[in-house]
Each structure stands twice: as structure tokens, then as C-alpha cells.
Amino acid sequence: MLPKAAVASLGATLAAVLIVSALLAIGTVGATPPRPAAPTVVGPRRTTLQRPVFHFRAARAVAFRCAFDSTRLHRCAARFSQRLAPGRHVLRARSVGRSGVRSRVVTVTVRVVQRLPALAIGTPLVVGPGPGVPAVVDGSVWIPTTEDGGLIRVAGGASVSRTQVGPRSLGGEGYLDAAAAGRDAIWAASDIGSTIVRIDPGSGTVTQTLAVAERPGGLTVGAGAIWAFHFLQPAITRIDESHVTARRIDVPDVRAAGLAFGEGSIWLLSVNPNRLVELDLAGAVLRSIPLRPTSARRASLIDAWWLAYGNGAVWATLPNYHAVARIDTATGAVRYVSLDQGQPFGISVGGGSAWVATDRAIVRLDGATGTPVAASSLPRAESSAFVSVAYGDGAAWVTNYDRDTVVRVDDPASPP
């Protein structure tokens, strides 16, 4: 038999153990349940389906809450689907654990893409190194080849002549040479040569060479003159077609990236800040229209690249935003068109449509609204850049600087 003192000590120890156990039990019952993991969202990020399906998975989750395009989440099953209009949507989701404990919100961007009718694309024709902006007239396509200073004439699906119009720059120093069809001549601008030349279309020979400001870019024709912008420079050049004389016009606070003629005005595209500047024929500024794309900035090459006029509007490509801006010349109203076919570079207007050349596709836009109506991937266009386009003879002609090619894209609205 234990001594009374030992019995008392053992009783006290047992009582202490029981008290601690009771306290631990109380603490366990009152503890907050573990927080569930944030959900993994399984499903398409870019789709042509208007009712895509998504699955939510998370450790320790007993339920989910989610919503498209709203911060007010509702109860969702682990398999979730909702009808979505074409465009960009944001899906938000969170996990719910025991006793209603919630995870952080996970955000996923989903783009629903319209499936557009395909355009008929011909076989690419190799024309020379670094083909630039072409000119189309009277059954011929005139294509400057930036890296060797040439001008190639394509007719009947083949190269039929070559004219040297600028210095060779096989080291890749040239930016992008351009051609334009004037009243009775073809004109070609050499970026590295700082020249604009006049070519007789019959013989293909150079009849005059004009020294101009550095980096002459795209050419446009209007009011009896050939007009050129100078890449990222505050200047344009006017060449009188009759007398073949050049005059520089300074445009303060402009970094030019595109040029067009329409409605009796010169339209100049400028970057940093992005805007469209309307000039009278003497070069005085009439209007400045800011360009503020509504889509997210998705690249960092150059915000604005090329300009074209047609159908009562000026059209600008915005490569970093995968978008095109349509600016109504009467009201100055700007409509932004987001594209799902890559970065847009070249643009031309003809046949009641705007034709956009991206780094991997050709897209036809409705001339009145800018809505995409047809598109096709360009052959061998992967990882390419600096594509240009001109419209004429019932087709859009797309040059690919990196692939040394031109390809014909038939206009389905043009009579055969």
C-alpha cells in the first residue's frame, strides 16, 4: 500500500493531466479550420467556343465561388461554363473551405475569338532582300527591296525587271523602303540613302533623284504632289509632280511614323505621345487627335506604325496593342479594333475594305465600321516582322521583310 503522501501526489498529477487534456480539447474545438489553397483554373485562355468549360481544383476546398467580368462572386461548381460574347473576359475564382474559410481570388483572362471566313492567298514569290511597301498600278506591283537598294516590278506572277534606286545596305542598316504610284511615274524612297527617286514605269529607269531629309519613310500621293514622312523626325517632304522639286516642311513636336492624304489634308501619325495630326497643304497643324487604345499593351516594339486613308477615315496600326484605330475624318471620333491575329504593321484601303498585314496573318476589315470580316494566316510567316501591304487590281499585296517575299490575297468582293 502506497503512503498517503504518494497517493496525494499521484492524484494531483492525474488532475493536472486531465485539466491540460481538457484545455487542449477546448482549444482544438475552437481553432479556425485551415485555409484552402487558391484554385487552379483549368480551361482555355483563347478559344473560338462561346461557351468554354473551366474546372476548379484546390486542396482543402469544399466549394468554389466565381464570376466573369465582375468582382461579385457567386457559388460555382467545380465544373463551370458560361456563354461569352466575342472579346476579352476576366474570370475570377476562389476556394471555400470548412466553416466558410476562403482563399485568395485567382484572376484569369479569357479571349473569345470570332472564327472568320478565310481569304484566298496565293503562292509567295521571292523578290529580294527586305521587301518594303509596294505600289500597285496597271497590272504591275513595284516592290522596293530595302537591303540591296532595288525596285522589283512584278507582273503576271513573276519578277520582270529590277532597277537600282538606292544604296545597298546588306548589313541591315535600312529601316523600310517604300514605293508609290504617282500621276505618270513610280516613286521610291530610300531610307539609308536619304533619297526619293522618280522611275519611268515604261522603261523602269530612274529619271530623277532627289536628296531629302534623313530616313524618308512611307510615301503618299495627293494635291499634285508626292509626300514623304521621315521616320521619327519632325518633318515631311513635298515633291511637286510637275516640276519634280522637293521642299522640306517642319512639323514641331512630331515623331513621325506614318503618312496619308485624304479630304484635302495631310495626315501624320506621331508617337510619344501617340496621336494623329492633320495638316493643311502648307504644313500648318489643323487638328491633333490623341490615340489611346482600349486594349492592354502586349508588346514593346513601337506603339504606332503605319497609316492609310479610305472610306471617310484614316486608319492607323498599333502593333504593341494588337489593334487598329479608325479615325473618322469629319468628326475625329476614334474607334479601336482589337485583332486576334498578331501584331498589325501594314495597312491599305481599297475595294470598300481596310486590309491589315500582321506579323502572321492578313485581316480584312469592313471599311465603314472596322469590324473584322475575314482573315487567313500568311504562309511561312512565323516569327516574322515588318510586313507591308498595298491594294490594287482586285487584291491586297503583302510583302514580308524577313522572308523576302510578296504574296497576293484576292479580294472576294472584287469581280473576277
Chain segment 195-240, per-residue pLDDT in tens: 999 999 999 999 999 999 999 989 999 999 999 999 999 999 999 9
**303 and 214 assigned to the same domain:** yes
Between 398 and 299, where is the model more confident? Answer: 398
CA distances (Å), origin 166, targets 75, 148, 187, 191, 236: 67, 8, 12, 9, 19
**238 and 348 assigned to the same domain:** yes
Residue 308, domain member (yes or no): yes
Which amino acid, residue 367?
G
Q: What is the pLDDT of residues 162-204, one digit of tens each?
A: 999 999 876 666 689 999 999 999 999 999 999 999 999 999 9
> Model pTM?
0.80
CATH number of the domain to which 80 belongs: 2.60.40.10
Arithmetic mean of pLDDT, 30-42: 87
What is the pLDDT confidence band of residue 6, given thresholds at 50, 70 and 90? very low
Cell matching residue 267: 495626315
**317 and 395 assigned to the same domain:** yes
CATH number of the domain to which 192 belongs: 2.130.10.10
Cα–Cα distance measured from residue 152 to residue 163, given in angstroms and rounded to the nearest whole number: 7
Residue 207, domain member (yes or no): yes
Q: Supply φ then ψ for residue 8, to 5 degrees.
A: -65, -40
Name 138's Cβ contacts closer than 8 Å, sequence gap at least 6: 201
Cα–Cα distance measured from residue 273 to residue 286, given in angstroms and rounded to the nearest whole number: 17
Domain boundary among the residues 85, 112, 139 is at: 112
Residue 7, domain member (yes or no): no
The H or E element spanning position 129 is none
**67 and 194 assigned to the same domain:** no
Q: Supply φ then ψ for residue 248, to 5 degrees.
A: -85, 140
- Per the structure, how many domains does the chain have? 2
| Number of Cβ atoms within 10 Å of the Cβ of 208 | 14
Least reliable range by pLDDT among 28-42, 261-275, 319-333: 28-42
Cα–Cα distance measured from residue 111 to residue 42, given in angstroms and rounded to the nearest whole number: 15
**217 and 74 assigned to the same domain:** no
**301 and 229 assigned to the same domain:** yes
**244 and 101 assigned to the same domain:** no
Cα–Cα distance measured from residue 236 to residue 250, given in angstroms and rounded to the nearest whole number: 6
* Residue 28 scores a pLDDT above 60: no
**339 and 290 assigned to the same domain:** yes
**195 neighbors 152 (Cβ within 8 angstroms):** no
User: Of all residues in the chain, what percent carry a pLDDT higher than 70?
Assistant: 90
Output the CA angle 77-83-86, nearest 5 degrees.
Answer: 135
**104 and 185 assigned to the same domain:** no
**327 and 377 assigned to the same domain:** yes
Instruction: Specify the pLDDT at position 356.
Output: 98
**147 and 80 assigned to the same domain:** no
Arithmetic mean of pLDDT, 397-412: 95
| Alpha-helical regions (H) of 91-235 | none
Cα–Cα distance measured from residue 39 to residue 91, given in angstroms and rounded to the nearest whole number: 12
Residue 23, domain member (yes or no): no
Domain boundary among the residues 88, 112, 136 is at: 112
Arithmetic mean of pLDDT, 11-37: 57
Residue 234 burial class via C-beta count within 10 angstroms: exposed 0-12, middle 13-18, buried 19 and up: middle
* End-to-end C-alpha distance for the chain, whole angstroms: 118
Name 347's Cβ contacts closer than 8 Å, sequence gap at least 6: 306, 307, 308, 315, 316, 317, 324, 354, 355, 356, 357, 389
Domain housing 69: 40-112
Residue 304, domain member (yes or no): yes
Instruction: Specify the pLDDT at position 299.
Output: 87
Query: What is the rounded average pLDDT for all residues in the chain?
Result: 90
Q: What is the pLDDT of residues 109-160, one digit of tens each?
A: 998 887 889 999 999 999 999 999 999 999 999 999 999 999 999 999 999 9
**277 and 346 assigned to the same domain:** yes
Arithmetic mean of pLDDT, 328-350: 95
What is the pLDDT confidence band of residue 31, given thresholds at 50, 70 and 90? low
Nearest to 269, CA basis, from 214, 227, 232? 232
Residue 29, domain member (yes or no): no
